[in-house]
């Protein structure tokens, strides 16, 4: 256990150091709104890979994968989770060059949705993307507050306010450029800390032999590679993560920030390996925790699998490992929070030229900074007020699973239309919702007359596979039967740089 | 029936994951040094 004073001092020093790095690097590098939200062509392979790793690696990696390992199926569940995190990066390694080729001056996925499909699909994608990113951001602040409260006894509001405040300072000042540079440095610290924490933990527990004996004694299925429950969990969580990441604006920004298409492909591929193995390693902590502490998984005692990593930390590790983990958690939350704050600000900023009358670059840059402040303050507030923010995560994932294929099909097919993909997405979502287990959604659906009486049994597997499968099948049908012949070259004319935007191009949108 | 992997497989899985993270880190560091240096 780390004392509250040590925890707070560590937090302030870490946050201040990275804020200084972000501000220092950004000085003189943010000349326009383009620099602030797209940093177009500025990142080499090392920086692009690092920012892809750091942006994914939030403090959630110390919570969710460990919970999966402890409570949802041991190593098989963890392997599925890891594959789910790696897959979107591999998909983007193929999608990214296509996106840059078709929309060379783009910024956001919502710009693409508007230009390709029109207002209805744009509104759907905007809602899904913003909900997912905001829930992710608020959950990160909730997670770090919870982690520091458990390991160092720091009051939750202090942690949330400190992290939100410091991240706000350098993100509002330096935008995406500051985020990418701090991500790069953070990756170089996060990965060694993760390795040191993992190795230190295993050695502190008596080596892999002793750990193995404890885990098998607790439940041999935790180390059963063919455990059906774990395989089922791995399958649906993989689809859930893929759906969420394919509507995540964060990656669209980095597709444009990469120096060129080859850099983009290599970086996303290396990041796929890194993200997969990091999540796997983090998940193993949950498996290990089951061997040493009572997490309430079998029904006895309070359920603590969601904080398995920190429970184990408090009971079994020497103080230096605990300090390393607190530092790791802070870096993890900073690296994803700055990314999400800037991504959310970019979605709104890229839409402003359509809403305002020919705004100047200076107006747009100021607006982007103002939105950064609003997003950060709102996220701190929500993280402190809404205890159930984590429940929204799965619903946001479900929305992503339903919309991912309909949204991205338009990059390849000229024949899919806005109404066609909207119907496909909504049909997939309907199938997902009627199978979705959490009571907060199921209770609402069950209250609908007629529907409530024929509601199928709840199942995450059927919800996510149903949402993705039905929307994919209907999108393929729409592409086969559709009569639309959208000119994909029009995307590059519709979506233009914000600092060179002409008033005539601003009005061109959607399929007509 | 359960069929947990053996202790050697578990050790290989755990230390193999650690080694892979170290390999990615080393690769990333080399690329960054080249970029920053050049």
Residue in A50, A73, A191 to test binding to B, most B beta-carbons within 10 Å: A191
Tell me if residue A274 falls in helix, strand or coil: helix
A298-314 tens-digit pLDDT: 776 778 887 888 887 77
Residue in A66, A85, A274, A287 to test binding to B, most B beta-carbons within 10 Å: A274
- Dist CA A275 CA A410 (whole Å): 28
Q: Which of A99, A102, A129 is nearest to A258 (CA)?
A: A99
> Percentage of chain A with pLDDT > 70?
96
Name the residue among A184, A208, A224 with its Cβ closest to that of B32: A184
Distance from CA of B37 to the nearest CA of A (A): 12
- Dist CA B26 CA B19 (whole Å): 10
Nearest residue of chain B to residue A275 (CA atoms): B21
Name the residue among A227, A270, A281 with its Cβ closest to that of B17: A281
Those residues whose C-beta lies under 8 Å from the C-beta of residue A484, and which sit 6 or more positions away, are A414, A415, A416, A417, A420, A511
Residue A85 or residue A147, greater confidence:
A85
A192-225 tens-digit pLDDT: 988 988 888 888 899 999 999 999 999 999 999 9
**Which pTM does this prediction carry?**
0.91
Those residues whose C-beta lies under 8 Å from the C-beta of residue A459, and which sit 6 or more positions away, are A435, A437
The full length of chain B comes to 38
Nearest residue of chain B to residue A267 (CA atoms): B28
List the structure tokens of A198: 């993992």
- Dist CA A262 CA A399 (whole Å): 31
Question: Between chains, do B35 and A44 touch, taking CB under 8 Å as contact?
Answer: yes
Nearest residue of chain B to residue A217 (CA atoms): B4
CB neighbour class for A57 (10 Å; exposed up to 12, middle 13-18, buried from 19)? buried
Given the cut 0.90, state whether the ipTM is greater than it: yes
A467-491 tens-digit pLDDT: 999 999 999 999 999 888 999 999 9
Residue in B31, B33, B34, B36 to test binding to A, most A beta-carbons within 10 Å: B31
List the structure tokens of B3: 């069929």
Do the Cβ atoms of A450 and A485 come closer than 8 Å?
Answer: no
Do the Cβ atoms of A300 and B36 come closer than 8 Å?
Answer: no
Q: Which of A181, A405, A107 is nearest to A173 (CA)?
A: A181
Please report residues of A whose CB lies closer than 8 A to that of B2.
220-221, 224, 227
Please report residues of A whose CB lies closer than 8 A to that of B3.
220, 224-226
């Amino acid at each position: 256990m780390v004392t509250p004073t040590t925890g707070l001092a560590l937090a302030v020093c870490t946050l201040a150091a990275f804020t200084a790095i972000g501000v220092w690097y950004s000085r003189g590098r943010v000349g326009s709104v383009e620099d602030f939200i797209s940093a177009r062509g500025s990142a080499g392979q090392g920086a692009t890979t690092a920012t892809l790793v750091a942006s994914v690696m939030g403090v959630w990696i110390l919570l969710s994968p460990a919970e999966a390992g402890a409570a949802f199926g041991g190593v098989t569940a963890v392997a599925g989770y890891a594959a789910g995190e790696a897959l979107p990066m591999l998909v983007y390694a193929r999608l990214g060059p296509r996106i840059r080729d078709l929309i060379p001056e783009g910024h956001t996925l919502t710009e693409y949705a508007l230009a390709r499909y029109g207002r209805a699909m744009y509104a759907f994608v905007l809602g899904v993307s913003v909900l997912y990113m905001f829930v992710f951001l608020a959950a990160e602040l909730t997670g770090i507050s919870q982690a520091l409260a458990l390991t160092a006894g720091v009051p939750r509001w202090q942690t949330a306010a400190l992290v939100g405040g410091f991240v706000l300072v350098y993100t509002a000042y330096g935008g995406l450029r500051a985020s990418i540079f701090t991500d790069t440095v953070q990756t170089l610290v996060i990965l060694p800390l993760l390795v040191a924490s993992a190795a230190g933990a295993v050695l502190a527990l008596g080596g892999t032999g002793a750990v193995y004996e404890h885990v098998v004694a607790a439940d041999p299925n935790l180390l059963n590679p063919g455990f059906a429950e774990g395989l089922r969990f791995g399958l649906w969580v993989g689809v859930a993560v893929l759906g969420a990441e394919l509507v995540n604006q964060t990656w669209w920004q980095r597709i444009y920030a990469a120096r060129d298409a080859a850099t983009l492909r290599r970086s996303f591929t290396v990041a796929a390996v890194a993200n997969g193995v990091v999540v796997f390693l983090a998940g193993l902590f949950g498996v290990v925790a089951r061997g040493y502490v009572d997490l309430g998984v079998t029904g006895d005692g309070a359920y603590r699998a969601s904080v398995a990593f920190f429970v184990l930390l408090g009971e079994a590790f020497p103080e230096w490992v605990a300090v390393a983990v607190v530092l790791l958690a802070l870096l993890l939350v900073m690296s994803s929070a700055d990314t999400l704050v800037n991504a959310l600000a970019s979605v709104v900023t890229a839409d402003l030229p359509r809403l305002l009358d020919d705004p100047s670059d200076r107006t747009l840059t100021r607006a982007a900074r103002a939105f950064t402040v609003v997003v950060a303050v709102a996220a701190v507030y929500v993280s402190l007020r809404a205890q159930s923010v984590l429940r929204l995560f799965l619903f946001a994932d479900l929305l992503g699973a339903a919309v991912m294929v309909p949204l991205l099909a338009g990059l390849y097919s000229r024949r899919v239309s806005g109404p066609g993909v909207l119907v496909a997405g909504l049909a997939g979502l309907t199938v997902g919702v009627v199978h979705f287990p959490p009571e907060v959604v199921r209770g609402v659906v069950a209250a609908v007359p007629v529907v409530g009486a024929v509601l199928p049994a709840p199942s995450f597997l059927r919800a996510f596979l149903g949402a993705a499968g039905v929307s994919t099948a209907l999108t393929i049908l729409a592409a086969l039967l559709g009569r639309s012949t959208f000119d994909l070259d029009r995307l590059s004319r519709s979506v233009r740089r914000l600092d060179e935007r002409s008033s005539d191009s601003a009005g061109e949108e959607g399929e007509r | 029936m359960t069929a947990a992997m053996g202790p050697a497989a578990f050790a290989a899985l755990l230390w193999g994951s650690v080694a892979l993270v170290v390999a990615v880190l080393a690769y990333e560091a080399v690329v960054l040094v080249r970029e920053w240096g050049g």
